[in-house]
């Protein structure tokens, strides 16, 4: 099963807030992502129209998902490939291991695949005695560190140069590379050198898919490093792992989405490499894999079609929502405890591993709405998070104290006179408590709220209603 | 087919609140899929008003690619030799069989024609077309143009005919569909050299693929 640690969210979030190195790394990344994305869309007047089109394409595909998946499957088979269907993570693991076993694989290279992370392909292959090497530099770094990704497009965003250098020093000695590296070009070069041999030695290459094309039976991957291409070209067997929602009807449909994907993710017009793979190598080809397999993964997706969470299936995994999330920006991806962090993860994780296991995630949101504003496919993430909170309340999930407080609040909110009286008293008391600083570092009965070093700006001593009345009188 | 397949498809239909689609609906969807019916014309970003080859060059250079113009295919081997010398490339080079008929004898390079196994630091391939919108080269796999040439060398040189620069990504798809051959195993859209920003968001060229991408644009004076 999944080895999620989402139930530890509170503790790990507090730890993250005290981790200075992490905060430096996150701060640097966030500014870069936000600025680059904005510049890219400033230069694209068609942005809003492209978003509308993308929403329409995704909605159309989801409404007819059964048909497009069948057509996609036919096209893959026509091109000489094989399609496997996995209901859940265990199915997917079993299918991938079986294909690798049949191919007599000893060594497997992997291009970055979030579905691969989701279903835990690496652990399964290693348990079956195979060597698995992540080839995306970020994924490679966290594989050495034995950590899950902390961002869906920049998995090692939480690591500093010094930490990466230490990891290479520790793990590359066995290749005779013992120099401690301090410069980024040297770090990248050493990874290039080590991984080059891995690509050439690999028996099987596993990639994800950004899109599956029903028209041609192709999968599309977008990368900047070229690692995905070495992974899907050099080994004898190419396996694609993809969620069932990745299918789109035509190449034109994928193109519309591609125009938003790279801009939303990294601020690029298009990534260095956008690659369509269709079936195995053709008879006369000198290179390319001899076999092509696609593993279509459901793992909870089909169940999301039935209600408002269908909207989440439009997600193209661009990462913009987490880049603009103040909570993610403060605590990073690991606190979320599973493979998908940030706003999209706070929706997906409870739906996939359970609302109880991930009970804190829907609540780790200020409902500021930035994520929905930047989401290229207009997923109403805050609304979905609110729906999850509602479900938690209905299913009696959450601490007794929180439920009691919510109950009290709703009782009070229905009694305006009492409500105004109490809030007036509260505003005054909090102002008095804050003293001259205007900031609260502790409040009676709310000690744990301030544990992460949080500071609350104090009210100015007057409620909104009072201020309003006073102004009315003045004018 | 497999039980899992049937279960997943059934769950999808339950989720959508319907059974299998009636034949008319499926036919309508297939018409969209096969291009017989287009719901909307693709929304193409407006491009600046300049010749496609010039726009292609501009956008290629903005992502650290380089380009030189040649007045005919016979100049290709010489240009490759000059590049080879100027970058102090050592060891053998590999060239796509589609360029085998050119006269390489005077260059002293002794290229290998075919795929790469990783020993060559410089490879030359031929682009199927290029996209001005994004500064992208489109390369198709096949015995004439092995994919390994695109990713294993340090220096990737790509021959492109100026007449093959199209305006938008969709135009490239249309060209691949109408060419007189089966769909290729691999279609590579290549936009600049390999890069990574995985170490502290600092862009570094040459992560796993080529460190440099150089286009030889063939612009025969006869045609233009
Ligand atoms: S939810 Fe939207 S913004 Fe977030 S990763 Fe998915 S597509 Fe991108």
Here the ipTM equals: 0.95
Residue A21 lies inside a defined structural domain of this protein? no
- Chain B hits for A64, CB-CB cut-off 8 Å, are 21, 25, 29
Is the CB–ligand 1 distance for residue A319 below 6 Å? yes
What does the alpha-carbon distance between residue A51 and residue A296 come to, in Å, rounded to a whole number? 26
Task: Tell whether B8 and B83 lie within a shared domain.
Answer: no
Q: Which one of A246, A268, A302 terminates a domain? A: A302
* Count of structural domains, chain A: 2
Question: Tokens standing for B119?
Answer: 């020993």
Query: Is there a contact between B187 and A275 if contact means CB atoms under 8 Å apart?
Result: yes
CA distance B80 to chain A (A): 23
B6-17: burial string, b at 16+ Cβ within 10 Å, e else: eebbebbbebbe
Is the CB–ligand 1 distance for residue A169 below 6 Å? no
**Going residue by residue through chain B (224 aa), what tens digit of pLDDT does each one get?**
589 999 999 999 999 999 999 999 999 999 999 887 777 777 899 999 999 999 999 999 999 999 999 999 999 999 999 999 999 888 899 999 999 999 999 998 989 999 999 999 999 999 999 999 999 999 999 999 999 999 999 999 999 999 999 999 999 999 999 998 999 999 999 999 999 988 888 888 989 999 999 999 999 765 44
Residue B40 lies inside a defined structural domain of this protein? no
- Which value, to the nearest 10 degrees, does the dihedral of the CA atoms of residues A152, A272, A261, A121 take? -30
- Chain B hits for A274, CB-CB cut-off 8 Å, are 136, 188-189, 191
Identify which of B133, B175, B40, B187 has the alpha carbon closest to the alpha carbon of residue A262: B133
User: Number of residue pairs across A and B with CB atoms under 8 Å?
Assistant: 251
Residue B38 lies inside a defined structural domain of this protein? no
Q: Where are the alpha helices (DSSP H) in chain B?
A: 3-16, 23-33, 52-62, 76-86, 148-151, 169-178
CA of A379 from ligand 1 middle (Å) equals 7
**Going residue by residue through chain A (475 aa), what tens digit of pLDDT does each one get?**
457 888 888 889 888 888 888 888 888 777 789 999 999 999 999 999 999 999 999 999 999 999 999 999 999 999 999 999 999 999 999 999 999 999 999 999 999 899 999 999 999 999 999 999 999 999 999 999 999 899 998 999 999 999 999 999 999 999 999 999 989 999 999 999 999 999 999 999 999 999 999 999 999 999 999 999 999 999 999 999 999 999 999 999 999 999 999 999 999 999 999 999 999 999 999 999 999 999 999 999 999 999 999 999 999 999 999 999 999 999 999 999 899 999 999 999 999 998 888 888 998 899 999 999 999 999 999 999 999 999 988 888 777 777 888 888 889 999 999 998 998 888 888 888 888 888 888 777 777 777 667 788 888 888 888 889 999 998 7
Residue B105 lies inside a defined structural domain of this protein? yes
CA of A151 from ligand 1 middle (Å) equals 12
Task: Tell whether B8 and B112 lie within a shared domain.
Answer: no
Task: Tell whether A66 and A203 lie within a shared domain.
Answer: yes
Per-residue pLDDT of A347-371, as tens digits, reads 999 999 988 888 889 988 999 999 9
Residue B63 lies inside a defined structural domain of this protein? yes
Residue A195 lies inside a defined structural domain of this protein? yes
- Burial grade of A404 (CB within 10 A; 0-12, 13-18, 19 or more): exposed
Domain that holds residue A443: 415-474
Per-residue pLDDT of A143-173, as tens digits, reads 999 998 999 989 999 999 999 999 999 999 9
Task: Tell whether B82 and B13 lie within a shared domain.
Answer: no
Is the CB–ligand 1 distance for residue A344 below 6 Å? yes
CA of B212 from ligand 1 middle (Å) equals 32
B197 touches chain A (CB under 8 A): yes
Q: Which one of A302, A319, A339 terminates a domain? A: A302
Task: Tell whether B110 and B82 lie within a shared domain.
Answer: yes
Question: Tokens standing for A330?
Answer: 């403060």
The ligand 1 atom nearest the CA atom of A347: 1
Task: Tell whether B93 and B191 lie within a shared domain.
Answer: yes
Identify which of A456, A457, A463, A455 has the alpha carbon closest to the alpha carbon of residue A428: A463
Is the CB–ligand 1 distance for residue A257 below 6 Å? no
Q: Which one of A302, A318, A353 terminates a domain? A: A302
Task: Tell whether B81 and B108 lie within a shared domain.
Answer: yes
What does the alpha-carbon distance between residue B211 and residue B196 come to, in Å, rounded to a whole number? 11
Question: Tokens standing for B5?
Answer: 């397949």
Identify which of A299, A399, A383, A400 has the alpha carbon closest to the alpha carbon of residue A340: A299
Residue B97 belongs to domain with CATH number: 3.40.50.10420
Q: Which of B5, B208, B211, B213 to mutate to test the interface with A (most CBs of A within 10 A)?
A: B208
Residue with tokens 């899907």: A232
Q: Which residues face B69 on adjacent strands?
A: B217
Q: Which of B186, B211, B212 to mutate to test the interface with A (most CBs of A within 10 A)?
A: B186
Residue B150 lies inside a defined structural domain of this protein? yes
Residue B81 lies inside a defined structural domain of this protein? yes
Residue B208 lies inside a defined structural domain of this protein? yes
Task: Tell whether B138 and B28 lie within a shared domain.
Answer: no
Residue A429 lies inside a defined structural domain of this protein? yes
pLDDT of residue A1: 44
Task: Tell whether B74 and B183 lie within a shared domain.
Answer: yes
Residue B46 lies inside a defined structural domain of this protein? no
Q: Which residues contact A225 (CB under 8 A, 6 or more apart)?
A: A135, A136, A137, A272, B194, B195, B196, B198, B207, B208, B209
Q: Which residues contact B119 (CB under 8 A, 6 or more apart)?
A: B91, B92
Domain that holds residue B161: 52-218
- Angle subtended by helix axes A381-394 and A342-353, to nearest 10: 40
- Chain B hits for A216, CB-CB cut-off 8 Å, are 183
Task: Tell whether B59 and B132 lie within a shared domain.
Answer: yes
What does the alpha-carbon distance between residue A259 and residue A432 come to, in Å, rounded to a whole number? 54
Is the CB–ligand 1 distance for residue A379 below 6 Å? yes
* Count of structural domains, chain B: 2
Is the CB–ligand 1 distance for residue A372 below 6 Å? no
CA distance B142 to chain A (A): 5
CA distance B34 to chain A (A): 7
Task: Tell whether B21 and B90 lie within a shared domain.
Answer: no
CA distance B208 to chain A (A): 5
Task: Tell whether B10 and B113 lie within a shared domain.
Answer: no
A220, A254 contact by CB (below 8 A): yes
What does the alpha-carbon distance between residue A158 and residue A151 come to, in Å, rounded to a whole number? 8
Residue A199 belongs to domain with CATH number: 3.40.50.10420
Residue with tokens 């010489």: B78
Task: Tell whether B123 and B177 lie within a shared domain.
Answer: yes
């Amino acid at each position: 099963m999944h080895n999620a640690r989402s139930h530890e969210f509170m503790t790990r979030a507090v730890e993250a807030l005290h981790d200075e190195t992490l905060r430096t790394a996150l701060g640097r990344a966030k500014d870069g992502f936000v600025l680059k994305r904005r510049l890219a869309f400033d230069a694209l007047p068609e942005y809003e129209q492209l978003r509308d089109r993308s929403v329409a394409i995704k909605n159309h595909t989801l409404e007819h998902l059964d048909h497009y998946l069948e057509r996609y499957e036919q096209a893959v088979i026509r091109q000489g490939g094989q399609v496997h269907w996995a209901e859940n993570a265990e199915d997917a693991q079993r299918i991938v291991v079986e294909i690798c076993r049949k191919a007599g694989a000893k060594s497997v290279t992997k291009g970055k695949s979030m579905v691969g992370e989701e279903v835990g392909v690496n652990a399964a292959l290693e348990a079956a005695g195979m060597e698995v090497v992540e080839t995306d530099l970020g994924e490679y770094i966290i594989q050495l560190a034995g950590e899950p990704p902390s961002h869906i497009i920049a998995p090692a965003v939480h690591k500093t140069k010094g930490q990466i250098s230490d990891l290479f020093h520790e793990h590359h000695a066995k290749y005779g590379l013992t120099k401690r590296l301090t410069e980024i070009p040297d770090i990248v070069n050493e990874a290039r050198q080590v991984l080059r041999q891995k690509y050439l030695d690999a028996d099987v290459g596993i990639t994800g898919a950004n899109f599956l094309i029903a028209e041609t039976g192709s999968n599309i991957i977008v990368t900047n490093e070229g690692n995905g291409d070495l992974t899907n070209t050099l080994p004898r067997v190419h396996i694609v792992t993809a969620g069932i929602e990745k299918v789109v009807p035509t190449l034109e449909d994928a193109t519309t989405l591609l125009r938003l994907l790279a801009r939303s993710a990294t601020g690029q017009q298009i990534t260095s490499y956008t690659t369509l793979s269709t079936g195995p190598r053709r008879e006369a080809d000198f290179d390319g894999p001899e076999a092509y397999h696609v593993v279509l993964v459901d793992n909870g997706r089909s169940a999301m079609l039935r209600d408002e969470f269908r909207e989440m299936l439009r997600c193209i995994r661009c990462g913009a929502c987490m880049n603009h999330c103040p909570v993610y920006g403060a605590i990073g991806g690991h606190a979320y405890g599973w493979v998908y962090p940030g706003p999209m993860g706070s929706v997906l994780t409870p739906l996939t591993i359970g609302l109880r296991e991930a009970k804190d995630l829907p609540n780790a949101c200020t409902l500021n709405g930035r994520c929905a504003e930047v989401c290229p496919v207009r997923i109403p993430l805050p609304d979905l998070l609110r729906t999850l909170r509602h479900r938690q309340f209905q299913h009696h999930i959450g601490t007794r104290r929180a439920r009691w407080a919510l109950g009290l609040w709703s009782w009070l909110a229905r009694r305006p006179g009492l409500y105004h009286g109490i809030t007036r008293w509260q505003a005054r008391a909090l102002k008095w408590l804050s003293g001259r600083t205007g900031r609260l570092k502790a409040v009676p009965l709310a000690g744990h709220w301030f544990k992460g070093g949080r500071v609350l700006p104090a009210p100015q001593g007057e409620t909104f209603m009072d201020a309003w009345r006073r102004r009315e009188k003045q004018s | 087919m497999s039980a899992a397949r049937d279960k997943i498809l059934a769950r999808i239909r339950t989720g959508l609140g319907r059974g299998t689609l009636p034949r008319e609906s499926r036919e309508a969807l297939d018409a969209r899929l096969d291009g017989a019916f287009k719901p909307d014309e693709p929304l193409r970003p407006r491009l600046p008003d300049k010749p496609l080859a010039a726009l292609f060059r501009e956008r290629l250079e903005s992502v650290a690619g380089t380009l030189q113009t040649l007045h005919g295919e016979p100049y290709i081997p010489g240009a490759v030799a000059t590049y080879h010398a100027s970058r102090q490339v050592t060891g053998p080079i590999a060239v796509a069989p589609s360029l085998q008929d050119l006269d390489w004898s005077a260059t002293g390079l002794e290229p290998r024609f075919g795929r790469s196994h990783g020993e060559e630091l410089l490879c030359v391939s031929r682009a199927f077309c290029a996209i001005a919108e994004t500064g992208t080269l489109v390369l198709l796999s096949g015995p004439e143009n092995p994919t390994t040439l695109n990713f294993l060398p340090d220096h990737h040189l790509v021959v492109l005919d100026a007449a093959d620069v199209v305006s938008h990504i969709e135009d490239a798809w249309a060209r691949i569909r109408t060419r007189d051959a089966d769909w290729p195993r691999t279609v590579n859209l290549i936009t600049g050299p390999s890069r990574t920003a995985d170490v502290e968001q600092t862009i570094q060229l040459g992560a796993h693929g080529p460190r440099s991408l150089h286009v030889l644009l063939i612009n025969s004076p006869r045609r233009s």
